[in-house]
Structure 1
Amino acid sequence: MLPILIIYTGGTIGMQPSASGYQTSSGMSQLIANAFNSSALEQLKPFEVLEFPRLIDSSNAQPHDWLAIAQCIDDNYRQYAGFIVLHGTDTMAYTAAALHHILGESIKPVIVTGSQIPMCKARSDGPGNIQDAILFARSGKVNQVCLSFAGTLIAGACAKKVDTSALAAFTSYNSRPLAVADITLNFTEQHRPLNQSRPENRQSSFKLSPLQPQSVAVLLLYPGISKVSIDAALLDEKIKAVVMLSYGAGNPPDQNSDLIEALEAAVERDVVVINMTQCYRGKVAQGTYAVGSVLNKLGIISALDRTLEDLVTDLYINLDSYR
């Protein structure tokens, strides 16, 4: 049986107290060894722990960190049955979405997890989250990038952090969980069965090319938005793609001439503009209301029910495919 590789990148799960607050710390292998009794540990094996040399608080995570994680998976792809990425919760949803787009249709599980309470503290949710991630990875029913937290397995491109302090900190607003860890692991009908005909020793086909974060902007619409804010996102020559967060079912203020003129100018110079709703649930239905019909006329792309994390990371990685 091939082992699972646990890739420790930093985050709350491995933090230790300091004079200035909790900070990232090495020693994940020992934390895991201390967290489980010998019987439980044997049931989770075989696994190995790889610590990144530069551990980060995930608030400092950057696109090059996603590539480093993906490169680590690529380098070790043939030696392991699956991969668990231990990560801070603040940008965990961005990392899960980015890995989804970078790694593509992997036949091996890649599960991102972490904790709200450090493993050095009593009541830490870290051991349970690690245990669930290992069991999900070993189930034979996961062949994509996922986020596992508080007993719930979520597709990597659909996850969102929704609570700063609750242990169930992540959800997927517009799709059911892939699985829930109760007494047994209960998978929904949405999981994709493994294609056993694909060879275990196949070469990976991951997209490890440079990302384009400098080319992507996010424009949040709000009543009274200034021309300066609009132009900064839509008229900057360096910007090649904009995610616009509009109201309700995808409605812009169509009487705001500064916005409409800037959208027209952006589209004219081939900027990719994607219209996303500010609502947590539901999807963009562009043109349902008259105020939204102008976006259809301009050729603005509907985000449907996609998350901001999914859209931003996809544009960083796959911008050229939108043209």
Structure 2
Amino acid sequence: MKNILMLATGGTIACEPSADGLVPKLSGEKMLTMIPALKNICNITCLELMNLDSSNICPDNWLLMAKTIYESYDKYDGFVITHGTDTMAYTAAALSHLLINLDKPVILTGAQKPLQATPTDAAQNIIDSFITAADKIPGVFLVFNGNIHKGSVVKKVYSENFAGFASINEQPAGTIVQNSINWLSSYSTISTVNPSLKLIDKLEEKIYILKLIPGLKPDILDILVEHDYKAIIIEGYGAGGVPTDKAINNFLPAIKRAIAKNVSIVCTTQCLYDGVHLDKYPIGILAARLGAISGTTLTTEELTIRLMVILAQTSDNKLIKEYVEQIL
């Protein structure tokens, strides 16, 4: 049987009632004892890494998770992280970039209802996660409601529905039905030669996500620059457009000023699907001419992590653009 390390980090899956509502209290070890079927899947070692509502997760927590996996890498065949759902897509994206040359499974999961609740999705999500971690396909994945989502494309799309998450602009990497995995064909080929695992241990936290609304004043960009933000992701309209000189609130001069001060401007879309096309309309073309970076088809979570990683390494605009826009 495979040897799997479980990292317990809290979240709804570990919640119990309190005077202030549901709070994560249940230990990882206790969760394992409540699901006896796990004994038939793999050998499990549990590490209590933290016990947080995932709204309280921050980049230092991502770095700790990555470091723990890195330091334990040779001892285990795979890893499962139990996690709150609210920021789990950010954590999945982060681990996808912090662990380089990964050749083992790293699986994140959580639940919309606590393990002790009735009904709950927690037990099956945990079982599915250990099945996936004990399988042969390497990489960072988020397992939820019978779906296996690649860590860099997943997004939480339901606040309560057990479906929870979706893969954005890609099909799920696989599905799990009656404890059997069906991988998408593109995941069926496994590289047999991988360089040694590499750990990224620095992140730039001064990233801001700005969601445009009609009437928003462009001086918000100047304020963010004054507060030393290194990158601003603009969630624009449709194909990634921002107001131009045809609007009362023209964003182009503020974008130009920000870029001149070496602040990275990334244009993405408020739409879930199909991504950004800055070459389609003047509202995108003009921003791109000023040096705005295209968010392509990436989620806001993935864009945030890419910027955190590359800006911790360089301030070279060309390298930043290449890293953000690369196809992985």
Q: TM-score, normalised by structure 2?
A: 0.90
> Match for 1:63 among 48, 59, 65?
59
> Match for 1:136 among 132, 139, 146?
132
- Give the AA of the match of 1:249: A
- For residues 194 and 49 of structure 1, what CA distance do their matches in structure 2 show? 27
- For residues 41 and 270 of structure 1, what CA distance do their matches in structure 2 show? 51
- For residues 218 and 38 of structure 2, what CA distance do their matches in structure 1 show? 58
Structure 1 contact 105–143 (Cα < 8 Å) conserved: no
- For residues 113 and 46 of structure 2, what CA distance do their matches in structure 1 show? 20
> Match for 1:92 among 88, 91, 103?
88
Structure 2 contact 222–258 (Cα < 8 Å) conserved: no
CA deviation vs aligned residue, 1:132-190 (integer Å, no higher than 9, x gap): 111112221x2111111001011101110001110010001210000011233111123
Shift of 1:203: 4.5
> Match for 1:50 among 41, 47, 51?
47
Q: CA RMSD in A?
A: 1.7
Higher mean Cα deviation, 102-111 or 82-91?
A: 102-111
> Match for 1:119 among 115, 122, 129?
115
- Tell me if 1:156 matches 2:151: yes
Structure 1 contact 58–89 (Cα < 8 Å) conserved: yes
> Match for 1:297 among 273, 281, 289?
289
Shift of 1:13: 0.7
Structure 2 contact 169–274 (Cα < 8 Å) conserved: yes
- For residues 289 and 42 of structure 2, what CA distance do their matches in structure 1 show? 57
- Tell me if 1:240 matches 2:237: no
- Tell me if 1:229 matches 2:220: yes
**Match of 2:98, SS?**
helix
- Tell me if 1:103 matches 2:99: yes
- Which residue of structure 1 aligns with residue 325 of structure 2? none
- Give the AA of the match of 1:213: E
> Match for 1:82 among 78, 102, 123?
78
Shift of 1:242: 1.2
- For residues 235 and 34 of structure 2, what CA distance do their matches in structure 1 show? 45
- For residues 83 and 47 of structure 1, what CA distance do their matches in structure 2 show? 9
Shift of 1:99: 0.7
- For residues 226 and 304 of structure 2, what CA distance do their matches in structure 1 show? 17
Shift of 1:291: 2.5
CA deviation vs aligned residue, 1:241-285 (integer Å, no higher than 9, x gap): 111111111111112455211111112122211110111111211
- Give the AA of the match of 1:30: K
- For residues 192 and 306 of structure 1, what CA distance do their matches in structure 2 show? 23
Structure 2 contact 81–108 (Cα < 8 Å) conserved: yes
> Match for 2:243 among 253, 257, 269?
253
- Which residue of structure 2 aligns with residue 10 of structure 1? 10
Higher strand fraction (1 or 2): 2
> Match for 1:322 among 305, 320, 323?
320
- Which residue of structure 1 aligns with residue 25 of structure 2? 25
- Which residue of structure 2 aligns with residue 169 of structure 1? 164
- Which residue of structure 1 aligns with residue 199 of structure 2? 206
Report how many aligned residue pairs link the two structures.
312
- For residues 289 and 31 of structure 2, what CA distance do their matches in structure 1 show? 57
Q: TM-score, normalised by structure 1?
A: 0.92
Gaps of 5+ in 1: none
Higher mean Cα deviation, 24-33 or 273-282?
A: 24-33
- For residues 75 and 120 of structure 2, what CA distance do their matches in structure 1 show? 30
CA deviation vs aligned residue, 1:57-83 (integer Å, no higher than 9, x gap): 001111100001111101101000011
